[in-house]
Structure 1
Amino acid sequence: MTTPGVGTDDEATVTIRCQDNSSVGVTFCDRFNFDADSVHYAVELRAPVLTARVNEVVAWIWDSDLSVFLDELAADYRGWAGERSWQTNDRDLAVSAVFRSGGHIGLTWTLRPWPKASGNWSASVTTWLEAGEQMTSLATDVRAFLAGEPR
């Protein structure tokens, strides 16, 4: 389930909660722009005994947009074989998707800041959503968040 909303400072947020375990989730927040070529935002992962955050994920206008990837998953609500994946140009945010019987999509969200630095870290959580309407809603919410549109 996704929840577009407003954070503590009237900033837009998108929260994805796992339908199997609501304590597992992902939040997009703290969006800002330096220029017309990119959007910067924070991503937080939560699960029991895990909290991870990357403060500055960058989406460049020439990159494949996360919302397009999510739209493609929603369009294939009848399922697919194998795993599909997407990542930012800097590879600090990656998403992989699998389809399971019963019409559910597992999205594994991985944060990996400074992927080329020594001593780097990564963290992942998996959220399960319904393949049709919940995926369509997530794609719409993420698109609005990245564009800075109110929801």
Structure 2
Amino acid sequence: MTSPECVIIRCQDNAAVGVTFRDRFSFDADSVHYAVELRAPGLNARVDEVVSWIWDSDLAPFLEGLAADYRGWDGERSWRTDDADLAVAAVFRSGGYVGLTWTLRPWPVAGGGWGASVTTWVEGGEQLAALAAGIRQFLRGER
């Protein structure tokens, strides 16, 4: 589900596994801040302030590139925020599905930090393109 206020990604293999982007805000014209939540049976994790800078490659172009390669690729492709508090790794499997492993690791250099990951499987063509468009809309704050 995608709206200007949030983007919800559900795993096709298990609807109890998912990722939610929400609570977008901005202090200035150079960045956007938002919360990311991961959920799976026995897991609920949230980072309240992931930061994307406007001059960096954000998540939307990464997802758009994956959608453009809907016929597949070898190996793993990855993306992360500058602070490495959110990372995404993508793999392609037969049948046209893409596994997106979403990892939250707030304060990655601080002692006593934590990390959590979930993997969502999505259709590599139109569904992934729609996800990329939804993320772009969310990050830009478009209604």
Q: TM-score, normalised by structure 2?
A: 0.99
Alpha-carbon distance in 2 for matches of 1:94, 1:62: 18
User: How far off is 1:5 after superposition?
Assistant: 3.0
From 134, 140, 143, give the equivalent of 1:141: 134
Letter of the structure 2 residue corresponding to residue 119 of structure 1: G
User: How far off is 1:62 after superposition?
Assistant: 1.5
Counterpart of 1:145 in 2: which secondary structure? Answer: helix
From 65, 75, 95, give the equivalent of 2:68: 75
Pair 1:99-2:78 in alignment: no
From 3, 8, 28, give the equivalent of 1:5: 3
Counterpart of 1:136 in 2: which secondary structure? Answer: helix
Following TM superposition, where does structure 1 have runs of at least 4 consecutive aligned residues deviating by more than 4 angstroms?
none
Asked if 1 retains the 8 angstrom alpha-carbon contact of 2:3 and 2:134, the reply is no
Which residue pairs with 1:9 in the alignment? none
Alpha-carbon distance in 1 for matches of 2:95, 2:24: 35
Aligned residue runs from structure 1 range 116-131, under 5 A:
116-131=109-124
Which residue pairs with 1:47 in the alignment? 40
Residues 99-128 of structure 1, C-alpha deviation per residue, up to 9 Å, x if partnerless? 000000000000000000000100000000
Gaps spanning 5+ residues in structure 2: where?
none
Aligned residue runs from structure 1 range 55-66, under 5 A:
55-66=48-59
Letter of the structure 1 residue corresponding to residue 135 of structure 2: V
The alignment yields a C-alpha RMSD, in angstroms, of: 0.7
Gaps spanning 5+ residues in structure 1: where?
7-11
Alpha-carbon distance in 2 for matches of 1:122, 1:134: 27
Pair 1:20-2:13 in alignment: yes
Alpha-carbon distance in 2 for matches of 1:114, 1:134: 32
Alpha-carbon distance in 1 for matches of 2:86, 2:57: 13
Alpha-carbon distance in 2 for matches of 1:101, 1:124: 23
Counterpart of 1:4 in 2: which secondary structure? Answer: coil
Which residue pairs with 1:86 in the alignment? 79
Q: TM-score, normalised by structure 1?
A: 0.94
Aligned length, in residue pairs: 143
Letter of the structure 1 residue corresponding to residue 74 of structure 2: A
